[in-house]
Structure 1
């Protein structure tokens, strides 16, 4: 009967040779998935059955080919949840938890808030808001036919209402107290890790500068937010200046760092004069030049 500790050493070595950043951690996560136990309980297991050893070896081989770990386990951790993920939906990243926490905090003191998660994907932001604020009305907007089934699975049992449609023109509920969005924002010229190739391209890239959709998000948020409502948008670390330009007319514009200290999301408060008009081509072009 195969010895688990030896299986883990071999798995970690194979993953390290494939360039995985945390090979031992991922080997243990895959083993825990195969054995159906928490990772911390692996220390209590000496031997594994042959079929389990074979299943682990198969998953390690696929991970060595840079298939995302989350596709192999079928879940992605996000705050206090394990979200269901797989082909067709963007895998939520730990950095986005910071935006979720900011959104939750921004609703402190707001009774029965209304919040929108635009470009929702897996529903990570929407579910985080719903879990933290059972009194909130939360809407998750997503256009992808491939992502929508994952979104609906993840919001099942919560008060989140799914709105299928393109954020550019779908009808949105108003007034809202909060709009959060993790849109596609990677410039087309940026080289991404092999795992990102498994994410839907439309959920990752957004034109030459990565800014094709963000002006639309800001304009739609201005349409639906009440005066004093708040907006939080994740973006590329090269977009700080562009975000300040795009948010002209908003108040309290603040860019927040991610876990590595890079600028990752920007927040703002809607002033009464913030325009709800669609962003003009001229303004968009100016923002592109400032990126």
Structure 2
């Protein structure tokens, strides 16, 4: 079994997959229904299981996202169904979700809005970890919305389909925490995007104008309308936007405590701001 796993990992490595050994372990675990911690105890597999793993490894070598092959992704403490048509949540975004959850502390029944919810990852995490929160989410893309609908079923989250630029007028001035993982890749950066994202994630969730900040400007305007005075906003951005993304908020004069935050790798990852007026 170990020989087979090494051969599969070598194939993924040759294909340019960033984490070949880890991906093979996850695919083997998925097919066998065995936890990752017990894989080393598996001496051999049936020919049918080996063929199933082989087929998945071949598709992963074609740079199909791992999560599309397993049909699920973990985000903080919740499991999400994912597949073609929805942005696969990244581990880095868990930090933004954690900030939103911490920002609810001390507020009775906090009102939380997740714009550009995609798979529903942030909204589901907040609903899971802040049971008293009233969580609202919106997604414009019909395919992504269908995935969010599936993931948020039974959570109590108010999920709507629509453009974040016009969403939740009925909540104007009442929101405590606004969180968003908007599209932020400049159109000119097309070639630099990882194949898994560029060819399989919805472009609506990736690209945002020539400078990558079009959605951030819309978010600033929407945040100023939806948040109560003193309410807070958090938004993910590209690692090269550690100054330009917060600058969108500083420039309007409507925000205080505008800060940028780094991810675990030390890269600029998300901004936070407080509505001052």
Measured against the shorter chain, the TM-score band is: over 0.9
RMSD over aligned Cα atoms: 1.2
- For 1:47, the equivalent position in structure 2 comes to 44
- For 1:255, the equivalent position in structure 2 comes to 260
| Among 265, 270, 273, the residue aligned to 1:268 | 273
For the pair 1:121 / 2:118, whether they are aligned, the reply is yes
Q: What are the ranges of 5 or more consecutive residues in structure 2 without an aligned counterpart? A: none
TM-score (norm 2): 0.94
1:36 CA drift (Å): 1.4
Answer yes or no: is the 8 Å Cα contact 1:78–1:92 preserved in 2: yes
After the TM superposition, which residues 163-178 of structure 1 pair with which residues of structure 2 at under 5 Å, given as runs? Answer: 163-172=160-169, 173-174=171-172, 175-178=174-177
For the pair 1:24 / 2:7, whether they are aligned, the reply is no
Answer yes or no: is the 8 Å Cα contact 2:115–2:139 preserved in 1: yes
Give the distance between the partners of 1:244 and 1:218, measured in 2 at CA.
10
Give the distance between the partners of 1:12 and 1:116, measured in 2 at CA.
41
Answer yes or no: is the 8 Å Cα contact 2:78–2:128 preserved in 1: no
1:166 CA drift (Å): 0.8
Q: What are the ranges of 5 or more consecutive residues in structure 1 without an aligned counterpart? A: 273-291
Give the distance between the partners of 1:244 and 1:121, measured in 2 at CA.
23
Helix, strand or coil for the counterpart of 1:147? helix
For the pair 1:37 / 2:37, whether they are aligned, the reply is no
Answer yes or no: is the 8 Å Cα contact 1:18–1:64 preserved in 2: yes
After the TM superposition, which residues 14-163 of structure 1 pair with which residues of structure 2 at under 5 Å, given as runs? Answer: 14-163=11-160
Give the distance between the partners of 1:144 and 1:218, measured in 2 at CA.
21
| Number of corresponding residues | 269
Give the distance between the partners of 1:241 and 1:22, measured in 2 at CA.
30
| Among 214, 217, 240, the residue aligned to 2:216 | 214
- Structure showing the higher helix proportion among its residues: 2
1:243 CA drift (Å): 2.6
